[in-house]
Structure 1
Amino acid sequence: MTRFVALSRPLAAAARVQVTRSALATRAAIQIRHYSADHHEESFEDFTARFVKFFDNVDDLFELQRGLNNAFGYDLVPAPSVIEAALKAARRVNDYPTAVRIFEGLKVKTGSDAIYKQYLDELAPLRAQLGVDTKEELGF
């Protein structure tokens, strides 16, 4: 199919440019960018270091919650050091409910009461220091 495109008003009557579908398709194909072509595999240690660094630099609630959404969005359970950094960030921005929600998210991500208990045992000194209880300890 052929499409006619006018160049300008004075030239519209005198000259028209034929543009075929293949020419339009070629022009559109040139502008396609492949952003997903440069993905690399991130090791668990790199993941942990990246999120510990992120939570160490958090200074407001929005950034904390955004980081938690990102950390819990992966198909893995964050390391205890990531949870520790997130709890310290929640304390730094003075948001107790988010600290409690960190443990709720951790319980869902672990999917096992035994693994969740191991996390609670490892984080017990920090929980005592920060005064953070779990949802179960609060009676919910």
Structure 2
Amino acid sequence: MVSPDDQELSAAIQAADSPDWSVRAAVGRRLAASDKIDEVADVLHRLLLDLRDSAVTQETAEALLARKDTAGLRSVLLASSQAAEFWTIDQLGDALECNPEWMTTEGADRLIQQLNELTADDDAGVRDEAQRILSGLRGGRRGSR
């Protein structure tokens, strides 16, 4: 028997292909909050790189970063390393650079710890993005692309 949570997750995954940007953005927020982030990583990645509306990118990235965990940050860094469109690069950069959580000592310490961990990630793009941000932080400013 399929649990209600699994049914809801399945429905969200199907809605990720909606022509309506607000539906896709809501799916991004829903999936970003999921305990099964590894199972929906491909869908989240697609939403982070949404070619039809940058609001989908922005809302999905912000929701992933709101998790305050390495998995959410890694998803955003991976998308940032693969983004090709200016508006996507801009939205992902804003989400990474303007997160108010990182303005607190606790949040900044957590970010630095997670970035240090991600400099050893299996994916070269994630490693490079983590290193780029760390280099910017060491230089007294956030790194820019």
What TM-score comes out, normalization by structure 1 length? 0.46
Bigger radius of gyration among the two: 1
Question: 1 or 2, which has the higher strand percentage?
Answer: 1
What TM-score comes out, normalization by structure 2 length? 0.45
